[in-house]
């Protein structure tokens, strides 16, 4: 047998404000094989939301995006899985739910997003962003060895 071993990777996922069916989304995350290594509900300040999406500061939608991200609690998640960054992007589907319903009807955005702005979920776009955003939201958790345990197992 020839096989490849991919070490577990982590990504930052966010269930954005006013998203319906958060529990269904969390169940789906676990059903898709992600371990929920960290979970907290946070209301971002305007400054935090601007920092979180600073890569988009010159986009025409930046102001609306910041308004959206700080208007209620976000559920912040660290997800662990082989190839977690890309797998979580695939689970979310395209940014625009119209496109998601065409090309990825099983994706979370196809099912739960309202529109291209209020699109239910966020995921880091690459491993460097994942590391930075996990640190920004959760602080230094890199040395904590319980990371690969699912929180549900502790309940």
Binds ligand RTP by CB under 6 A, chosen from 8, 33, 47, 61: 61
Comparing C-alpha atoms, which of 17, 21, 25, 112 is closest to residue 73? 17
Binding mask 98-127 for Mg ion (x = CB under 5 A): ---------------------------x--
Contact 6, 82 (CB under 8 A): yes
**Is 21 one of the catalytic residues?**
no
Task: Name residue, tokens 């904590």.
Answer: 144
Binding mask 6-35 for Mg ion (x = CB under 5 A): ------------------------------
Cβ burial 78-98 (10 Å sphere, 16+ → b, else e): bbbbeebbbbbbebbbbebbe
Q: Is 16 annotated as a binding residue?
A: yes
- The β-bridge relationship of strands 74-82 and 121-123 is unpaired
Q: What is the rounded distance in angstroms from the CA atom of residue 89 to the CA atom of residue 119?
A: 13
- Picked from Mg ion, ligand RTP, none, the partner binding residue 81 (CB below 5 to 8 A depending on kind) is none
Residue 17 engages ligand RTP in binding (rule: CB under 6 A): no
Residue placing its CB nearer to ligand RTP in the complex, 47 or 146: 47
Contact 136, 25 (CB under 8 A): no
Q: Is 136 annotated as a binding residue?
A: no
Catalytic residues: 122
- Kindly list the residues in this chain that would bind ligand RTP in the complex (CB under 6 A): 56, 61, 65, 95, 116-117, 119, 122-123, 125
Give the residues lining the site for Mg ion (CB under 5 A).
125
């Amino acid at each position: 047998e020839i096989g490849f071993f991919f070490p577990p990777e982590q990504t930052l996922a966010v269930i954005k404000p006013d998203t319906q069916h958060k529990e269904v989304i969390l169940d789906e995350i676990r059903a898709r094989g992600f371990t929920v290594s960290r979970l907290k509900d946070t209301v971002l300040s305007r400054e935090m939301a601007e920092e979180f999406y600073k890569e988009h500061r010159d986009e025409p939608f930046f102001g609306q995006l910041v308004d959206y991200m700080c208007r209620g609690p976000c559920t912040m998640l660290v997800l662990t899985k082989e190839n977690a960054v890309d797998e979580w992007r695939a689970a979310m589907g395209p940014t625009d739910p119209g496109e998601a319903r065409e090309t990825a009807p099983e994706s979370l955005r196809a099912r739960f997003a309202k529109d291209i702005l209020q699109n239910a979920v966020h995921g880091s776009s690459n491993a460097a962003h994942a590391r930075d955003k996990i640190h920004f939201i959760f602080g230094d958790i890199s040395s904590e060895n319980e990371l690969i345990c699912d929180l549900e197992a502790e309940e």
